[in-house]
């Protein structure tokens, strides 16, 4: 009887992260958000409008951003990655939030990284639903993420950055990062 061989997943076999496949692509996010905004604008129910903005739109933006490659990495996060993780998992640009969560138990150092939304999701939702900005522009140019250190020296819980800029960064998120000496590089 012939032996059946299954092709093994390289990521599981060798630990190297494969390039991410987004759960929701930018194009899909644009379609979903367009339908949600149309529903929002045609609806008279505050409860339904709240469900759209607090749940459905947030879910869409999170999944569109956290399952793809990040746009940036802080210099400190990159140093940590290069020293501790690159030989085990490959390039940081292939790390996504679901992969981080799945591998945290085996590689606890991953808990020291945080995928930060450069423009807070709540601000993007407001710009889409209350201000009426163009959805493709929001998704393609303002749904930006950055791997940073998950500690008080950068953007982690309890950090001065988080206290000051958790939910609003004005028109220039770069200035907010500069103020706290968080130097970033594109991925």
Look at residue 148 and give its three-state secondary structure: strand
Which two structure tokens, joined as six digits, stand for 62?
């999170």
Q: Quick one: pLDDT at residue 12?
A: 43
Q: What is the mean pLDDT of the chain?
A: 89
Nearest to 153 by CA among 67, 95, 79: 79
pTM of the full structure: 0.85
> CA 89 → CA 19, 65, 67, distances in Å?
11, 21, 17
Which two structure tokens, joined as six digits, stand for 61?
């933006």
Question: What whole-number distance in Å separates Cα of residue 67 and Cα of residue 129?
Answer: 23
Share of the chain above pLDDT 90, in %: 71
Which two structure tokens, joined as six digits, stand for 157?
């819980």
**For residue 37, is pLDDT > 80?**
yes
Q: What are phi and psi of 41, to 5 degrees?
A: -70, -25
Q: What are phi and psi of 143, to 5 degrees?
A: -85, 80
Report CA 80 to chain centroid distance, whole Å: 19
**For residue 13, is pLDDT > 60?**
no
Handedness of CA 124, 164, 158, 95 (dihedral sign): positive
Q: What would the pLDDT profile of 143-186 be if each residue is shown by its tens digit?
A: 999 999 998 878 887 888 888 998 888 878 999 999 999 999 99
Look at residue 20 and give its three-state secondary structure: coil
Contacts of 58 (CB under 8 A, 6+ apart): 121, 122, 125
Q: Quick one: pLDDT at residue 14?
A: 59
Mean pLDDT, residues 43-47:
95
């Amino acid at each position: 009887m012939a032996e059946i061989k299954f092709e093994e997943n390289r990521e599981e076999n060798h630990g190297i992260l494969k390039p991410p496949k987004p759960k929701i692509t930018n194009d899909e996010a644009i379609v979903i958000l367009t339908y949600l905004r149309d529903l929002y604008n045609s609806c008279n129910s505050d409860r339904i409008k709240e469900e759209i903005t607090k749940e459905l739109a947030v879910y869409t933006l999170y999944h569109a951003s956290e399952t793809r490659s990040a746009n940036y990495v802080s210099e400190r996060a990159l140093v940590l990655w290069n020293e501790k993780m690159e030989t085990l998992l490959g390039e940081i640009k292939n790390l996504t939030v679901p992969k981080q969560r799945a591998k945290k138990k085996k590689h606890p150092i991953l808990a020291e990284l945080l995928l930060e939304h450069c423009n807070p999701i709540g601000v993007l939702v407001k710009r889409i639903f209350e201000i009426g900005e163009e959805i493709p522009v929001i998704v393609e140019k303002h749904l930006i993420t950055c791997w940073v250190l998950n500690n008080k020296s950068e953007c982690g819980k309890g950090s001065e950055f988080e206290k000051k800029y958790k939910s609003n960064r004005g028109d220039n998120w770069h200035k907010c990062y500069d103020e706290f000496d968080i130097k970033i590089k594109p991925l």
